[in-house]
Structure 1
Amino acid sequence: MRQLTTPREKQRLLTAVPSADDAALLAEVVELRAKNEQLEQALASRAVIDQARGMVMVLAPCSREQAWDLLMDVSQHCNVKLRDVATALVATTKGRDLPEGIRRALRRLHALERR
């Protein structure tokens, strides 16, 4: 009687069809890679946000907390992510114009804080 599959064919089938453990491991690897990517983006965003915060502290003059609050308020008033507000502000050091909406919000909020 002839075997239906040889040991070599069995091995090929096993590698072609992942086991439940392999599928779970693969799902975990995919999830960890996604988290790693998110953390890398968060670190990059944090650096830009800290630079923008320092710029506000020098230009406004204000404390770290006040600079944070001002950037958060601009972000909320303009409906723009904080990292995007920070990126736009830092980009002004390279000759780029600050978007008009962000400029207006900064002026308005800074004027309110000075009262």
Structure 2
Amino acid sequence: METEQLKEALERRPVIDIVRGVLMAAWSCTPEDAWEILATVSQHTNIKVHDVAEAVMATTQQQPMPEHLQKQLTAAVAAWRARADGRA
């Protein structure tokens, strides 16, 4: 069972890392900030981080993001920006 979970995690990780890069390029955030944004969307939608990343990845292929994910992503980025502005 543990081996299967590890294998699944290794298969899913590249999508998450690519999307972190997309977020970093789009909003000039750090890798940690990009992870925090994905994790926040995941927590507020009760959708696994990998599935959130898949939805973001699909937008790079001109596929629409589900509205509830888009709203949460927008909110997560706004919250990150507010925190980042407070640090400046």
- TM-score (normalizing by structure 1): 0.66
Where relative contact order (Cα < 8 A, 6+ residues apart) is larger, the structure is 2
Distance 2:56 2:12 in 1: 13
The CA deviation string for residues 79-100 of structure 1, in whole angstroms up to 9 with x for no partner, is 1001100111111122211111
User: Larger radius of gyration, structure 1 or 2?
Assistant: 1
Aligned to 1:74: 41
Aligned to 2:73: 106
Q: Percent identity?
A: 43
| Structure 1 runs (4+) greater than 3 angstroms displaced | none
The number of equivalent residue pairs is: 82
**RMSD over aligned Cα atoms:** 1.3
Structure 1: give runs of 5+ residues left out of the alignment: 1-33
Structure 2 letter corresponding to 1:102: L
- TM-score (normalizing by structure 2): 0.84
Aligned to 2:6: 39
**Residue among 13, 23, 29 paired with 1:56:** 23
